Amino acid sequence: MTFTIFVMWVLMGVLAGVVAGMVREQGGYGLKRDITLGLVGSIGLSWLVRAVSLVSGSGLFVAAVVALIGAGIAIAAQRRIRPSAPIGEQKADTWWRWGLSAAVVVILGWMLFAPAQQPAATAAVVEDKTYAVTPATMTVKAGIVTGEVTDMKVTERIEQGSERVVSPAKLTARFVLKNGSANQSVRLVTGKIRYIDAQGQPITLEDNRADPIVKFTSGERLDPGQEVNESIDVDFPAAALKGNTLKAIRMDLAYVPSPYREETVNLAVSIGGK
């Protein structure tokens, strides 16, 4: 039983008690006792039919009918078994009955016929869907620059249940680049990634998506033997997620080599002015 159902029992008991004196004035004990009888009958019968499982569920209309029948039985039994002396009601009592009945009818109408409040929309659950890249680790070489790419994977964010894509796919990875020259320095400029299909053609990105460009954050020169750790986080085409579509990932690495020199500089100094 819900709180709303209990309120319906109370309202039907009050309404029956108010109307009883208006329909049949003789035999009653006044407004207060009529309402008390109505409450006892509506709540008592409603509780009884629920206790013996004659009525189940939480429908307001069924609850109203059962409560009204219970209130009517209690008031009719009082009028028949133990009626009061046949005296008319006071005028003030009659006004109270009309006022209460109108108020109860308004409340009942709102409870039974008001549009049901729509439940608040629950927030969709978003999860990361990860696609493995095989192999996830590989060695690369571009001229005098060598390195290793690790932890390659593609991730997109989707709505759980509907599979709607919330955030398009991204390619992420870590890689270490090393200057393998013995006598040249290297300044890394940029890297452009291309996704190649089975026919050797580039797979294009969807509209309004950025070109997969790797921007090197170090901005430092790599002398012979030095290395730098970088990361990849670029857009990945949705078409490449389909089976057997992607055959290779190509990176066009741009760097500037320069002659590496070591020179000796002699500083003529003295200590203490001597």
The answer to whether residue 97 scores a pLDDT higher than 60 is yes
Contact by Cβ (8 Å): 147, 230: no
Whether residue 61 is predicted with pLDDT greater than 70 in this model: the reply is yes
Question: pLDDT tens digits for 30-49?
Answer: 777 888 888 888 888 888 88
Is the predicted pLDDT of residue 84 greater than 60, yes or no? yes
Q: For the residues 200-207, what does the mean pLDDT come to?
A: 87
Mean pLDDT value across residues 140-151 = 87
Summarize the confidence of residues 126-142 as an average pLDDT.
86
pLDDT: which is higher, 231 or 1: 231
Which long-range CB contacts under 8 A does 3-9 form with residues at least 24 apart? 4/58, 4/60, 4/111, 5/58, 5/60, 5/63, 7/111, 8/60, 8/63, 8/64, 8/67, 8/108, 8/111, 9/42, 9/43, 9/46, 9/63, 9/67
Read off the pLDDT of each residue in 141-160 and give the average, rounded to a whole number. Answer: 88
- CATH 2.60.40 applies to domain 126-259: yes
Evaluate if pTM is beyond 0.85. Answer: no
Peptide bond connecting 135 to the previous residue in cis, omega within 30 degrees of 0: yes
25: phi then psi, degrees, rounded to nearest 5: -75, -40
Q: Which residues of 205-239 are buried (b: 16+ CB within 10 A; e: fewer)?
A: beeeeeebebebeeeeebeeeeebebebebbbbee
What CA–CA distance (Å, rounded) separates 267 from 69? 114
3-state SS assignment for residue 90: coil
Q: Could you tell me what percent of the chain has a pLDDT over 90?
A: 3
pLDDT computed for residue 71 by the predictor: 80
d(C-alpha 42, C-alpha 63), whole Å: 10
What average pLDDT score do residues 65-80 get? 82
Q: Please check the confidence at residue 126 and state whether its pLDDT lies above 80.
A: yes
**Per-residue confidence band for 155, with pLDDT thresholds at 50, 70 and 90:** very high
Q: Which residue has the higher pLDDT, 19 or 125?
A: 125
Angle at 66 between CA 73 and CA 59, to 5 degrees: 170
High-pLDDT (> 70) share of the chain, %: 80
Split at pLDDT 50, 70, 90, the class of 252 is confident
37 vs 273, higher pLDDT: 37
**Which comes out higher in pLDDT, residue 244 or 100?**
244
pLDDT for the residue 36 = 84
Cα gap 88→161, rounded to integer Å: 69
| In the chain, ranges of CATH 2.60.40 domains | 126-259
Given a cut of 60, whether residue 274 has pLDDT beyond it is: no
